[in-house]
């Protein structure tokens, strides 16, 4: 038997692959948002992890304070958090476009610390429980493994959202505006297109994606103020491996690295926490622009 040769049980292999795919779903959605924002705004959005956390926390607050359940959160929270992104971009980030990348990084990093600090102050660091919605409890026995419904749902939503976003950017007229403005915003503006408005909307959309990932994560991971800070470091590594600003690269690398991480957990668990960073180092040495990055 193959599995005897490998020294693992099929159950262990498939459940780690599933876990990898779940993590990959979050990596993909988060790095996709980062890639879109970096492409058009030239800002490395270090607030992304905090905005993901706001998505999860927003779901918890919505349930806790108003009684509105998961299905409301799925729509209301990304819109609300995305709107805070719009305000943030108009009020602060838009003042930095003429400066070096580093200033945007410092600003967004500072904002992340403030948001996390405020929530920690108010709610402490212990995780808040958030139940899996009734309709998605239970699971399917696939014979070789048990597939929890909620995890299948997360993977499906992530795939639909990621490839929907990819389609919008690569195949529609709106996406053509976005790609053109990423390449040469001055000329696109000189054609009569409102580029500043596009930039604001893009930041809002990227932030809403992070928040959506947060809502999806709430029932799986514990909801606490630092949940984004832990995850975002890995996501930045994913973005670097995929290539800054590449949409498809961000999606494929996100899912792919989730799976690689899962496999590592099966065959060499000690390395699972660092494997992504090892890959990042190798990619940076061999192909500094990233696997899907364009060298300019």
Partner 1 sequence: MTETLPAAAETAPTGGAPLLQVRDLEAWYGESHVLHKLSFDVGQGEVVTLLGRNGAGKSTTLKAIMGIIGKRRGSVVYAGRETIAMPSRQIARLGIGYVPEERGIFATLNVEENLMLPPRVQPGGLTVEQVFELFPNLRERLGSSAGSKLSGGEQQMLSIGRILRTGAKTLLLDEPTEGLAPVIVQQIGATIERLKRDGFTIVLVEQNFRFASRVADRHFIVEQGRVVDMIPNAEMDASIDKIHAYLGV
Enumerate binding residues for partner 1 (CB under 8 A).
173, 176-177, 179-180, 182-184, 186-195
The long-range contacts involving 135-142, CB below 8 angstroms and separated by at least 24 positions, are: none
Find the shortest distance in angstroms from Cβ 168 to partner 1.
14
CB nearer partner 1, residue 183 or residue 230: 183
Find the shortest distance in angstroms from Cβ 71 to partner 1.
37
**What residues are paired with 148 via a beta bridge?**
139
Find the shortest distance in angstroms from Cβ 167 to partner 1.
14
CB nearer partner 1, residue 195 or residue 223: 195
CA distance 236 to 221: 20
Find the shortest distance in angstroms from Cβ 134 to partner 1.
45
CB nearer partner 1, residue 67 or residue 192: 192
Find the shortest distance in angstroms from Cβ 196 to partner 1.
8
CB nearer partner 1, residue 126 or residue 184: 184
CB nearer partner 1, residue 72 or residue 177: 177
Find the shortest distance in angstroms from Cβ 158 to partner 1.
25
CB nearer partner 1, residue 170 or residue 230: 170
């Amino acid at each position: 038997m193959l599995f005897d040769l490998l020294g693992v049980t099929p159950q262990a292999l498939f459940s780690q692959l599933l876990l990898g795919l779940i993590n990959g779903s979050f990596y993909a959605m988060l790095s996709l948002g980062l890639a879109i924002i970096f492409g058009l705004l030239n800002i490395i959005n270090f607030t992304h992890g905090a905005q993901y956390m706001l998505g999860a926390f927003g779901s918890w607050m919505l349930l806790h304070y108003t009684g509105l359940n998961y299905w409301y959160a799925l729509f209301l929270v990304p819109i609300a958090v995305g709107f805070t992104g719009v305000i943030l971009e108009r009020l602060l980030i838009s003042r930095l476009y003429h400066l070096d990348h580093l200033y945007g990084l410092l600003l967004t990093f500072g904002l992340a610390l403030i948001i996390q600090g405020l929530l920690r102050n108010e709610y402490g660091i212990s995780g808040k429980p958030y139940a899996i919605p009734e309709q998605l409890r239970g699971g399917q026995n696939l014979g070789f493994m048990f597939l929890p419904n909620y995890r299948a749902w997360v993977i499906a939503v992530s795939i639909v959202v990621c490839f929907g976003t990819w389609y919008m950017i690569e195949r529609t007229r709106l996406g053509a505006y976005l790609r053109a403005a990423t390449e040469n915003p001055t000329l696109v503006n000189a054609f009569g297109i409102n580029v500043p408005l596009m930039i604001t909307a893009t930041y809002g959309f990227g932030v809403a994606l992070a928040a959506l990932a947060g809502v999806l994560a709430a029932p799986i991971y514990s909801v606490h103020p630092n949940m984004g800070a832990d995850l975002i470091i890995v996501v930045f590594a994913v973005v670097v491996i995929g290539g800054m600003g590449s949409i498809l690269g961000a999606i494929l690398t996100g899912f792919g690295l989730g799976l690689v991480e899962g496999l590592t957990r099966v065959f060499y668990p000690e390395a699972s926490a660092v494997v992504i960073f090892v890959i990042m180092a190798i990619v940076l040495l061999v192909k500094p622009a990233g696997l899907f990055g364009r060298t300019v």
